[in-house]
Structure 1
Amino acid sequence: MIIHHKTQIYTVKSGDTLSGIAEKYGTTYQQLAQMNGISNPDLIYSGQELKINGTADPAVKMYTVKSGDTLSGIAARYNTAYQKLAQINGIGNPDLIHPGQVIKIG
């Protein structure tokens, strides 16, 4: 299966975070940082233009793991199985997720 991605430009607004932008566009902050040559993902500025190669499918949701989250808890929240989340995100050990990690839901 080939998934086509739509590349677009996003202008950073005050209060934006790279992880928040990534979640909105169905990608990860790591991919955004790499694509835009950002060495420190915590340092973006208002007015900065970012290339975004997010998913073209708006049905794909992204979730940023928070402290205390478990994969099974996230799965229950989105009415899916933790095994499915582990599989689509390439997570070998479902007990090893960390805050800030962005996972696909769906």
Structure 2
Amino acid sequence: MSNMTIHVVQAGETVGSIAESYGVDPARLAADNAVPPSGALAVGQTLVVRFPRQVHAVRAGETLASIAEAYGTTVRRLWQNNWPL
């Protein structure tokens, strides 16, 4: 299972906004990429986004959407982080 992705910085993004969009800790994102948490990022700069490994036992009636919502992520991100298993 993949537990990281590469993010290409877009105009106006900050460590905090990127961390929020992936549901990860901003301090950890900054440390993993050797950038200051409040420092400027360059457009086009790549950041490694690491996700903590979590295991979820699917229960009857759950969907990808309901699981993604429960973990504060998107269906797309959930799918990407779990395919292929």
Give TM-score scaled by structure 1 length. Answer: 0.47
Q: Which amino acid aligns with 2:44?
A: G
Q: What CA RMSD, in Å, does the superposition of the two structures yield over aligned residues?
A: 2.5
Name the one with the larger strand percent: 1
Segments of structure 1 that go 5 or more residues without pairing to the other structure are 63-106
- Describe how 1:51-70 pairs up with structure 2 within 5 A: 51-54=48-51, 58-59=68-69, 60-61=71-72
Any runs of at least 4 consecutive aligned residues in structure 1 with deviations exceeding 2 A, and if so which?
Answer: 39-42, 54-59
Aligned-residue offset at 1:41: 2.9
Letter in 1 for 2:43: S
The structure whose residues are more often helix, as a share, is: 2
SS in 1 for 2:4: strand
Q: Structure 1 residue 32: deviation in Å?
A: 0.6
Cα separation, 2, equivalents of 1:33 and 1:53: 11
Identity of aligned residues (%): 25
Report the counterpart of residue 34 of structure 1 in structure 2.
31
Distance 1:20 1:40 in 2: 11
**Alpha-carbon distance between aligned partners in 2 of 1:5 and 1:22, rounded to the nearest angstrom:** 17
Q: Work out the CA distance in 1 between the residues paired with 2:19 and 2:37.
A: 15
Aligned pairs, number: 59
Alpha-carbon distance in 2 for matches of 1:32, 1:11: 13
Q: Give yes or no for contact 2:29–2:49 (8 Å, CA) kept in 1.
A: yes
Q: Which residues of structure 2 form unaligned runs of 5+?
A: 55-66, 74-85
Distance 1:16 1:37, change over 3 A: same
